[in-house]
Structure 1
Amino acid sequence: MSVTATLLAAYPAIATVHACIGAVALGAFWAAAFLRKGSPLHRRVGQVYLLAMTGILLTGAAMALGKALQGHVVASSFLGYLLLITAAAVWSSWRAVRDKSDVARYTGPVYVSLGAASFLAGAGVLALGLQKEAPLLVGFSIVGLAVGVDMLRKRLRRAQLARHPLWWRTEHYTAMLGNAVATHIAFLIIGLPKLLPSVGASGLYYAAWFGPLAAAAVAKVWLDRRHRLPPRAVARRGGATAHATHAVPR
């Protein structure tokens, strides 16, 4: 049996594994959301979530390849695009915490590559959506374009990013909101219709796609306001950063 035939035969099993890992990710996300931030348990559950998301990316890549082999080029391209922007969010949510003391490391080659790839993929999906007259593709292409521009802008202005106290926290929860969008869309599009078949045939299809995106945007605004620091704190941080920069021998 060829590799292609093997992958096609295994597609239903891969999809099942993908859905099971997605259920773990959904539960871990909400568990981490309600646990005290920074606590050992919060970190452990967060690690479980990111591991589950990695599993989703791997099985999702196999599914995207399977779709392509089945001749569903548009579906395969869109799934691949979703996996890419999700990978960018998974990587950023992890590295923001690991590199919280080093903005340059955080915004290094991997960060730039993911940002550029997200932008180019978003442009490609936009062109594909316009060609196929598919509102879903056109609408979701904005995510990749926006993510790409934001990541590349932060790379160019990383010294400015470093002047903000707890910049890594903002990067972490912003990326986690992106992960939440992916997790909840997968549940609403794949899992919920199996539990409630009437949902898949109703007018809630687009709400299932764009609802989590709108909710994440609202949560982002709320979290930014909640964690906003007084201008004095930002100024003090900026002065300390500038002093440290000049103190380093060149």
Structure 2
Amino acid sequence: MKIELTGKRAVVTGSTQGIGLAIATGLAACGATVVVNGRGQAHVDAAVDAIRQAVPNASVEGFAGDLGTAEGCAALVAAQPACDILVNNLGIYGPEDFFATDDATWTRYFEVNVMSGVRLARAYLPGMEAAGWGRVVFIASESALNIPADMIHYGFSKTAQLSIARGLAKRMAGTGVTVNSVLPGPTLSDGVAELLADEVARRGASLDEVVTDFIKAARPSSILGRAASVEEVANMVVYVCSTQASATTGAALRVDGGVVDSL
């Protein structure tokens, strides 16, 4: 299967590192013009350079702005009014006990993880419908189904993404526009590396060893038994954004290594 996206314009939010950068790189490799996003210009410029190094002749642009705010989303749409493929990857996470999680934290997770995707989908979907083709993908998490006790606020935000994506898929029925969610499981991203850096230093072990031990302890249902790479997650996203995936919509597609124990 050869995925060809030449002539398509893709916006990938939160794409200066990790899964987002891998998705942006994968889409660029298939010929799409990709808009990379991060909050800081230096990080955006570095990501653009990294994609150009990985994909010779890549068509890639950058937008620096905080999409966790209504103002940031409006600025992106003003700067990039055309979009054929929207990947709502922007997200924050972190463990915190339910009883220590204040209203401000709940609101922040809702604004960044949920409302960024809502605002951008609301802005870009009419243009996709008018064109008769489009792709919207929400990067959720296995935590949307397997709610972590130490990150209830995060799990809630990812479950909300599944609801929005499913509803939007129905709303866009018959338009040529598909809307799906992709649910990564434990993934060896930059964020995970930062989260486990102290444990790596304490044990004097490799990051791979620490992550594998974490999965065995915290996600014992994992069939894969290891973390996925960011490229493995990106592969699923790139396919869902392809013309070949025209019959896939309203789906919650898991790249979780079998963590969620259901048929």
TM-score by length of 1: 0.32
Select the structure of larger CA radius of gyration. Answer: 1
TM-score by length of 2: 0.31
